[in-house]
Chains A and B, each alone.
Chain A
C-alpha cells in the first residue's frame, strides 16, 4: 500500500480570497464538526492514556515502569528497533539510489514489491516467519530430515538448541518485515524529484562515486532520511500483531513493550498497562514532533531552489 500520508509534501501558505470563500456560519459549522470528530477519536484517547496511567498516583506509575519485567521489555524493544532501523535504512538508501538515479525495466514492479509489507496484515507478517523457521516450517523440515544438506549445520542447530521463532531473532525479523518499506518509500520520490543533474555536475567536477554520494546526494536527502527513520523507528517500537505471533510470550525474555502492555491489561492491572502505554504514547508524540521538524527543514532546503 502506498503510504501517501507518510510522504513529505511542501506546505504552502494558505491564501484566502474573499470572492471564493464560504459564509461564516458554514465555516464555523465545518470547523466544529471537524474538531468534534477529532476530539472523539484523537484528543480524548491521547489524554486518556496519560490520565489512566497516572490514576493511582505517581508512585505506582514509577513502580510499574521500574519493574524488571518492564525493563527487559524496554531492552528487547530497543534491540529490535536498533537492528531493524539501520538495516532498513541501508536498504532504503540503496533502493532509492537504484530506482531514482537509473532507468531499468521492471521498476514499477519493484516499487510495488517494496510496498508489499504495508499491505499485509501484521498477523500474516508474523506468520510467514513461523512458516519458514518454525518446527513445522522449512527449518523444522530441514532439521528433521534424514539426510539434510550441510549436516554440520543441522547438528549445530540441534546441539545449541538454537531457536528463531518464539525467541528474540523471530521478533527482530518480524520487526524488520513490518518496517521494511518506510525509509525507501520516503527517499524514492524525494530523489526522483531531485533528478540527476547535481550528481552529474559533481562527477564532471571530478568527484568520485562516494564523494558524490556523501557530499551531494546525502545532504540533499538528509531530512527525508531522518523523516523515514523516525517513522520506521516508531513502527518498530510499537509493532504488536506481527511480534505477538512470533514471540513466545515469555516474560522477561521475549516480551516487547507493547506485549508487556497486553499482559498487564489481561491481568486486569489496567493502571499498570496504561502507565507502560503512556511511555509509548509519549514516544509517539516525540515522533510527531520530529516528523514535523524534519518536514519543515526539508521544505526549507528545497524551497525557492530553482
Chain B
C-alpha cells in the first residue's frame, strides 16, 4: 500500500471540504480523483502533499506505511504538479527541473554533473530537450505542463500528485497529453494521483477512479466497474448523459407507461414508484413496434454531425423528452425525419433504491 488516507476531515470555517475521507492506493497505481468543483478533490490532493493539513483528530496519512501526517511538504517527498504549473518564471526550463536537486543540503545533493545528467534524462522523457534554455513564458501550455511534471519527478518522489493536470489546456492538447501521461506512467510506474473534473479523462487514463461529492468519496473502483455499476444516481449522472423515466417497480421489472423493462436487481420489491436511468446509447429505435417491449415516441430533432447521431425524442404518451444516441449506420438505415413516429426499446435500465435526486 503506497498511500493511505485515514479519517481525514478538513474544514475551512464552517465549510466542510473533506468529511472523514478514507482512501488506499496500491503501489504503482494511477488513480483519478473525480468530482465537481467544490467536492474536495483538490483539498484531498493538497492534504496528501502536505500543503494543507487535516483537522486534528484521528486523521492519518501514510506513505508506504510511514505516518507523514505531521511532516511538512518540504520533507514529504511527494511530487506535486500545480494546476497552473507554478513554474519559476525567472528560471529556465533546465533550472526549473533542477531546482529540487539544487536545494538539497550539501550532504545529499548530487554532484553537478549528475544533476545535469538527471535533468537531461527527464528532458528526454518529456521530449523537450531542445527547449532546455527557454523560460516558462516562452512555452506553450502543454509544454509548461510537461516541465511541471518533470520538475516534480526530478526529486524521485514516492508519490506523484497532479492537480487538474490538463485543466488549462485546449481540447486537442488535452487528449494528446493524457495519452502521453498514461504512457509515461506505464514506463516509470510511479504511484500517481490526479485530480480532474472531466469524467472522460478519468475513465480513459486511470487504473481506478475515486468519485468525490461534498467532501466524501462516493465510489471508488476501476473505470469499468464504476461505469457499469454506479453506486448512486450522482455517480451515474456524473459519468455521462442520462435519461430519466418515472415509473413503477413491479416484480423484477420497471413499468414505464404501459411498457415493462426487466431490471433483475429490483426483484422482491413491489409497487413502489421509481425513477429509471437510461444512457442515450442504451436506447434502441425501431420502425416497428415490438409487442409490449417498446413504447412510441416522436422525433423532435436530429443531429448527425460527428461520429454518432443524436436524436431528441418525445414520448407520445405524456410528451416527456429524452435523447438517444445511434451509430451513423443505424441512423442512415432508419432515415428518420422530424415529426416521425418511432418505437423505443430501453436496455440496461438502472434503478436506485434510495435518493432519486441527482
Binding site for B on A (CB under 8 A): 197-198, 200-208, 211, 215-216, 219-220, 301-306
Q: Is the interface of A mostly helix, strand, loop or mixed?
A: helix
Instruction: Name B92-151 residues within 8 Å CB distance of A.
Output: 99-100, 102-104, 136-138, 144, 151
Complex interface: chain B residues within 8 A of A207 (CB): 74, 99-100, 103
Q: Confirm or deny: B355 has a beta carbon within 8 angstroms of a beta carbon on chain A.
A: no
- State A220–B86 Cα separation when bound (angstroms): 12
Category for how many chain B residues contact A: 20 to 34
- Contact of A301 with B99 in the complex, beta carbons under 8 Å: no
- Contact of A202 with B84 in the complex, beta carbons under 8 Å: no
Complex interface: chain A residues within 8 A of B72 (CB): 203
Instruction: Name B41-58 residues within 8 Å CB distance of A.
Output: 49-51
- Contact of A198 with B88 in the complex, beta carbons under 8 Å: yes
Complex interface: chain B residues within 8 A of A203 (CB): 51, 72-74
Q: Confirm or deny: B82 has a beta carbon within 8 angstroms of a beta carbon on chain A.
A: yes
Q: Confirm or deny: B78 has a beta carbon within 8 angstroms of a beta carbon on chain A.
A: yes
- Contact of B84 with A197 in the complex, beta carbons under 8 Å: yes
Q: Confirm or deny: B155 has a beta carbon within 8 angstroms of a beta carbon on chain A.
A: yes
Output the least CB separation between B78 and chain A (Å): 7
Q: Which of B74, B89, B103, B151 meets A215, CB within 8 Å?
A: B103
Q: Which of B50, B76, B86, B104 meets A201, CB within 8 Å?
A: B86
- Contact of B155 with A301 in the complex, beta carbons under 8 Å: no
Q: Confirm or deny: B79 has a beta carbon within 8 angstroms of a beta carbon on chain A.
A: yes
Q: Which of A202, A211, A215, A303 meets B137, CB within 8 Å?
A: A303
Q: Confirm or deny: B322 has a beta carbon within 8 angstroms of a beta carbon on chain A.
A: no
18 further interface pairs, Cβ-Cβ under 8 Å (given A200-B51, A203-B72): A198-B86, A198-B89, A200-B73, A204-B51, A204-B73, A204-B78, A204-B80, A205-B74, A205-B103, A205-B154, A211-B103, A215-B88, A216-B88, A219-B91, A301-B89, A301-B90, A304-B137, A305-B136
Complex interface: chain A residues within 8 A of B86 (CB): 197-198, 200-201
- Contact of B137 with A206 in the complex, beta carbons under 8 Å: no
- Contact of B137 with A305 in the complex, beta carbons under 8 Å: yes
- Contact of B89 with A220 in the complex, beta carbons under 8 Å: yes
Complex interface: chain A residues within 8 A of B66 (CB): none
- Contact of B82 with A205 in the complex, beta carbons under 8 Å: no
Residue of A nearest to B136 (CB): A305
Can you give 25 contacting A-B residue pairs, CB < 8 Å? A197-B86, A198-B87, A198-B88, A200-B73, A200-B82, A201-B86, A201-B87, A201-B88, A202-B88, A202-B99, A202-B103, A206-B74, A206-B77, A206-B103, A206-B155, A211-B103, A215-B103, A219-B88, A219-B90, A220-B88, A220-B89, A301-B89, A303-B137, A304-B138, A306-B84
Output the least CB separation between A103 and chain B (Å): 11
Given A220-B90, A301-B90, A305-B137; A205-B100 close (CB under 8 Å): yes
Output the least CB separation between B269 and chain A (Å): 51
Which of A198, A201, A204, A220 counts the most chain B CB atoms within 10 A?
A204
Complex interface: chain A residues within 8 A of B100 (CB): 205-207
- State A243–B193 Cα separation when bound (angstroms): 62
10 nearest CB pairs, A to B = A205-B100, A197-B86, A207-B103, A304-B137, A201-B86, A219-B90, A204-B80, A305-B89, A203-B74, A211-B103
Q: Confirm or deny: B75 has a beta carbon within 8 angstroms of a beta carbon on chain A.
A: yes
Which of A206, A215, A216, A302 counts the most chain B CB atoms within 10 A?
A206
Q: Beta-carbon contacts of B59-78 to A below 8 Å, as 1s and 0s?
A: 00000000000001111111
- State A279–B344 Cα separation when bound (angstroms): 92
Q: Confirm or deny: B236 has a beta carbon within 8 angstroms of a beta carbon on chain A.
A: no
Output the least CB separation between B87 and chain A (Å): 8
Residue of A nearest to B97 (CB): A205
Complex interface: chain B residues within 8 A of A219 (CB): 88, 90-91
Complex interface: chain B residues within 8 A of A211 (CB): 103
- State A303–B50 Cα separation when bound (angstroms): 31
Output the least CB separation between A7 and chain B (Å): 20
- State A202–B101 Cα separation when bound (angstroms): 11
Instruction: Name B200-233 residues within 8 Å CB distance of A.
Output: none
- State A302–B90 Cα separation when bound (angstroms): 9
- Contact of A204 with B84 in the complex, beta carbons under 8 Å: no
- Contact of A302 with B79 in the complex, beta carbons under 8 Å: no
Output the least CB separation between A221 and chain B (Å): 10
- State A200–B161 Cα separation when bound (angstroms): 13
- State A220–B135 Cα separation when bound (angstroms): 14
Which of B49, B74, B87, B137 counts the most chain A CB atoms within 10 A?
B74
Q: Confirm or deny: B85 has a beta carbon within 8 angstroms of a beta carbon on chain A.
A: yes
Residue of A nearest to B104 (CB): A206
Complex interface: chain A residues within 8 A of B87 (CB): 198, 201
- State A205–B152 Cα separation when bound (angstroms): 7
Residue of A nearest to B85 (CB): A306
